[in-house]
A and B are shown apart, each in its own frame.
Chain A
Amino acid sequence: MPPTQAAPSRWYFVHPAVDLCCAGGLSLLAFGAAMMSPWYSESGLALPNALVFAGFLQWIINWPHFSATSFRLLSHAENRREFPLTTFVIPTLVGTGILSSLYWSETVAPYFIKFFMLWSPYHFTAQSLGISLLYARRAGYGISMNERRALSAFLYGTFLVSTARAEVSVTAQSYYGITYPGLGVPSELVTILSTVMYGGGALFLLFALLRFLKKGETLPGIIVIVAAAQFVWFVVGYYSPSFYVFVPAFHSLQYLLIAWVMELKENRSGRGDGKVTAVWSLINFLGGASLFWALPKVVHALGVPQELAAAVLISGVQIHHFFVDGVIWKLRNPRVANPLTVGWKMPLPSARRAA
């Protein structure tokens, strides 16, 4: 059944509670529960049950979200035409990085993994900013350039602060058994970046307050939710390992809601939303499993040590995802902005209107 065109635009895609949860509200609830419950562990290690559950979510949320990016790029001819370098050249470059890492496992692989480790939180942040701007646009709350800069300073600040904090130490970390180094940045850098982060957040709230007082415009709550979630994920949640293992799932949930909405919006097959959802979900589940479970096993079967295969391939797949994601979801692109910002409501049974 084709989506219903609602007369007034709504800030949400599905339902206020659903959008709020997917955008970051669920993670805030989870963090609150983790802090107040016996789940909270100060040992520095996640609880075993948390690891098991996070591992399960990895199959059905994290990995499919990677597949959804490649699916969107490759399955839409318009995307392949518009982004030929991303479609053909970037995989070649990333593949070269993977092969180099597998061949020079002691000199290249640790730094290929390190490069991915630094890029990953940046990617989370860029997505949070994009989602904030998207919902602001849908809610009719235009973000000025100064407001955007303040919001960006806060959001990117969370990435910089948390990453710099991790990079103060030169102690080697391990990713699937492959060790990679710390950079050893000075601790003063963390202080400076924290100042930028808090300053940006305070400035954005000040702008919002001034708008409210002068024009009566209320800052959409979902923007606050996204920003708060980002802060919790990177600055505070770091100290709760049993919560922290779920951050990739929360990030993936943010993404999947938007990607799913877009898939329904662009559906030209004539199939109903349920079928489109089922097919899309299955494709991405299988795609994710192929990339993250099957591919390392295939490479291992070719003689590459298992840990090396897993660490390098998973890093490479994610680097490819960071690249593609940054290209195909630009709100400046009308093919992206139009479907996401024109009034549209998911026809849930309770929200169905008479024709």
Chain B
Amino acid sequence: MRAAAALMLFASVAWGAPKKAPQRVIFHTIAGDLVFALYPETAPRTVAQFLDLVRHGVYDTCHFRRLEPGFVLQTGIAEDRVIPLSLLQREMIRKLPAEYAADIRHRRGSLSMARPDNDPDGAETSFSILLGNAPHLDGKYTIFGEVESGVEVLGELEKVPFDSNHTPKIRLNVNYAEVVETPAALQAKVLARAIPIEAGLREMERQLAFKGSLAWVGLAVVLLVLVLSSAIAAVLGRGLRPVLFLNALVGGFVLFLYLAPLAGNRPWLATAVFLGSALLFRALSFFESPGPPKAIAQ
């Protein structure tokens, strides 16, 4: 036993096993949790950006868009998430230069950055988990880490049927990703074991639907409160005008907050938000406005 351990240690030293970062990244997928170890000395910039993006939620609700059993399981680009990236998240994504290491091979469990075919320095967010050895990729794609735990989760993901383009027939979502800063913190984590894919999918859809409904319920509550306060002021016969104006300001801004993020791909909504804002500014100019003009003293 000791001899085998010593042999493995010698082998890893001889073959230059990459040094791992103290942090671990956990991808909470619909099939269970995958734990990634990263190689900061081999691919420093790639690892730095990957950690940064995970910390800022860029990989939350992304998915594995390409499945070739025995070869790769590849994520989509971050822009292809269920929940659109925020502007700050988009600003964080940078192109990464190639960081090849001659002594590190593409083998099952390796994490390898995807990139456009004609741009070796074009990697950004999409990456592959190797499902088998792929020596033909060595020296062409940046290896930045490995799957340290969750092999059985990979097995569940590999079972998903796919079409002729190797697109999984079920969206293989990453519910969220997180960075665990220390080994001690990782020890304290309770990792989800491999779960049958269908159960994971139903759970994710339930969570997303709940969050989306919560946001719209929040908006409805705010607007209801504003309408009620106006109605109360009208019934009491006091302060209706200022209450209406204040409610217009608050309600207008809250509506803007909800609708402006949705306007980007909807020209009609963008127009409504734009013109509605202008009308709101115009209306607010009458706030605490004096009555009709009186004769000017000469």
Residues of A within 8 A of B (CB): 82-83, 85-86, 89, 93, 97, 105-108, 110-111, 114-115, 118-119, 122-123, 126, 156, 159-160, 163-164, 167, 170, 172, 178-186, 189, 322-323, 326-327, 330-334, 337-338, 341-342
Contact = CB atoms under 8 A, between A and B. Distances in A.
Contact of B296 (A93, A167, A334): A334
Given A183-B263, A323-B284, A334-B294, A164 B88 contact: no
Contacts of A108: 257
Nearest to B268: A186
B253 interface: yes
A111 B263 CA distance: 12
Interface in B257-284: 257, 260-261, 263-267, 270-271, 273-274, 277-278, 281-282, 284
Interface of B: 86-91, 242, 246, 249-250, 253, 256-257, 260-261, 263-267, 270-271, 273-274, 277-278, 281-282, 284-285, 287-294, 296-298
Contact of B264 (A160, A170, A337): A170
Contact of B289 (A115, A167, A182, A332): A332
Give the secondary structure class of B's interface: helix
B280 to A, nearest CB: 9
Contact of B292 (A170, A182, A332): A332
A89 B284 CA distance: 14
Contacts of B288: 82-83, 85-86, 327
Contacts of A342: 296-298
A183 B281 contact: no
Give the secondary structure class of A's interface: helix
B289 A111 contact: no
Nearest to A105: B88
A186 B297 contact: no
Which 10 A-B residue pairings sit nearest by Cβ, starting from the closest?
A: A183-B270, A179-B87, A186-B267, A326-B285, A333-B290, A170-B264, A185-B270, A122-B281, A172-B87, A184-B270
Nearest to A100: B257
A247 to B, nearest CB: 18
Contacts of B264: 170, 181-184
B175 to A, nearest CB: 19
Contacts of B90: 172, 179
9 contacts: A105-B88, A115-B277, A160-B278, A163-B274, A184-B263, A326-B285, A332-B290, A338-B297, A342-B297
Nearest to A110: B87
B274 A185 contact: yes
